[in-house]
């Protein structure tokens, strides 16, 4: 699953990108914030299911 997620992340970051263009920081920040949000939701769900929170 991790390998698929990393492939998807790199595909999003390199989609329609030429070698001469600088990195698209807005897309990088968007993908990073989505990953953090999904991680926080997963952590919240895990805490609710284990009853520690």
CA distance 7 to 12: 9
Residue 50: both structure tokens together: 């284990």
Per-residue pLDDT of the chain (53 residues; tens, 9 = 90+): 567 777 777 777 776 656 667 878 898 899 999 999 999 999 999 999 998 65
Residue 22, pLDDT score: 80
Phi, psi torsion values for 36, nearest 5 degrees = -65, -45
pLDDT digits (tens, 9 = 90+) for 16-28: 656 667 878 898 8
CB 35 within 8 A of CB 10: no
Residue 6, pLDDT score: 78
Residue 37: both structure tokens together: 């949000």
């Amino acid at each position: 699953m991790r390998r698929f997620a990393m492939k998807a992340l790199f595909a999003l970051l390199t989609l329609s990108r030429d070698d001469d263009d600088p990195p698209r920081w807005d897309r990088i920040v968007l993908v990073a914030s989505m990953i953090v949000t999904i991680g926080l939701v997963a952590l919240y769900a895990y805490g609710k299911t284990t009853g520690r929170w």
